[in-house]
């Protein structure tokens, strides 16, 4: 069974590869800033962390699901993901600029840590999925049910009625299944070392590593030495929560993790 990854992230591909899954990487081509700005203009307010990452995860997966890949339609599951780091009520994406990254690290260290929000979306585009071509609607298999996260706790969604996940307890996760789509938000609370110096910050920023990653750090790179504690799935901090993805496939579509293994 094929997994299409709506991302060109080497870290996400490597994370899947080490579990036995070789995804098809596809650039979703989503203008993230424009998508967020348009949604916030509609709501008349800023998006919460869970809303923002679930919005972009759905947008990325949807862009790939309806596209032609190597001249052919998609046949398999499509995964889209996005992350944002929240520090003291402020959401941070990729800093891009060295001075922005440097100042962000000073803020994060002053507070002591933050919450990494990870949005996830899986779309079922299997050519032989249940309900395809017989006039019946596909419904999720497994334990997934629209509007719930197993074992049955109600999941708050956006007040705008757009199905985005609005609230998740820091360090926890939530999932919503709806037809051929399952969306989820996972989170991890990170604690930074309390003795990181300005020289260390300057050296890390100069490496270029923090410029194009959410929150200006990577747990699987040079910043690992500055992070003392993670409450949540470590893989979520890398960019793809493997336990949540497994649960989405199983509870949403009745698909097992080993179905995706490259044999």
Q: Can you give the pLDDT at residue 263?
A: 57
Compute the half-sphere exposure of residue 227: CA atoms within 13 Å on the CB side of its CA. 23
Q: Is the pLDDT of residue 103 over 90?
A: yes
Output the pLDDT for position 46. 92
Q: Is 232 exposed, middle or buried (0-12, 13-18, 19+ CB in 10 A)?
A: buried
pTM for the complete prediction? 0.84
Cα–Cα distance, 19 to 21 (Å, whole number): 6
Told to judge if 82 belongs to the known catalytic residues of this protein, a careful annotator would answer: yes
Tell me what the mean pLDDT of segment 115-125 comes to.
Answer: 94
Stretch among 53-62, 81-90, 148-157, 179-188 having the lowest mean pLDDT: 148-157
Task: Pick 188 or 159 by higher pLDDT.
Answer: 188
Average pLDDT on 6-18 reads 89
Give me the chain's average pLDDT, please: 86
Q: Answer yes or no: is pLDDT of 235 > 50.
A: yes
Q: 227-231 and 181-192: which strand pairing?
A: antiparallel
Section 112-133 average pLDDT: 86
Asked if 28 and 65 touch (Cβ cutoff 8 Å), the reply is no
What pLDDT shows up at residue 239?
Answer: 78
pLDDT at 130: 67
pLDDT of residue 128: 83
**Closest to 129 measured CA to CA, from 141, 145, 147:** 141
Euclidean distance between CA atoms 2 and 15, whole angstroms: 16
Provide the pLDDT confidence category of residue 55 given band limits of 50, 70 and 90: very high
Q: What is the mean pLDDT of residues 60-74?
A: 91
Task: Reply yes or no on whether the pLDDT at 66 is more than 90.
Answer: no
Mean pLDDT of 52-78: 93
State the pLDDT at residue 154.
40
**Which residue did the predictor score with more confidence, 263 or 145?**
263
Q: What is the pLDDT of residue 169?
A: 86
Per-residue pLDDT, 136: 33
What pLDDT sits at residue 139? Answer: 37
Single out the catalytic residue among 27, 82, 88, 195.
Answer: 82
- pLDDT at residue 157, rounded to an integer: 56
* pLDDT > 60? residue 137: no
């Amino acid at each position: 069974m094929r997994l299409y990854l709506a991302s060109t992230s080497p870290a996400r591909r490597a994370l899947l590869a080490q579990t036995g899954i070789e995804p098809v990487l596809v650039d979703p081509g989503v203008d993230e800033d424009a998508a967020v700005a348009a949604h916030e203009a509609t709501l008349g307010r800023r998006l919460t962390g869970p809303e923002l990452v679930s919005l972009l995860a759905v947008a990325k997966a949807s862009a790939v699901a309806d596209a032609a890949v190597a001249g052919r339609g998609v046949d398999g599951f499509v995964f889209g993901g996005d992350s944002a780091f929240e520090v003291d009520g402020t959401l941070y994406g990729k800093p891009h600029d060295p001075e922005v990254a440097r100042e962000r690290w000073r803020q994060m260290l002053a507070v002591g840590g933050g919450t990494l929000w990870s949005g996830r979306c899986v779309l079922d585009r299997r050519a032989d999925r249940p309900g395809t071509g017989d006039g019946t609607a596909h419904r999720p298999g497994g334990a997934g049910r629209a509007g719930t996260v197993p074992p049955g706790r109600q999941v708050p969604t956006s007040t705008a009625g757009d199905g985005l996940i609005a609230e998740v307890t820091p360090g926890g996760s939530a999932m919503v299944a709806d037809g051929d789509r399952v969306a989820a938000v996972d989170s991890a609370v990170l604690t930074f070392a309390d003795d990181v110096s300005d020289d260390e910050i300057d050296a890390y920023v100069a490496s270029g590593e923090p410029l194009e990653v959410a929150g200006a750090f990577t747990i699987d790179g040079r910043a690992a030495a500055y992070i003392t504690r993670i409450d949540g799935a470590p893989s979520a901090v890398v960019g793809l929560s493997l336990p949540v993805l497994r649960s989405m496939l199983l509870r949403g579509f009745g698909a097992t993790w080993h179905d995706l293994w490259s044999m």
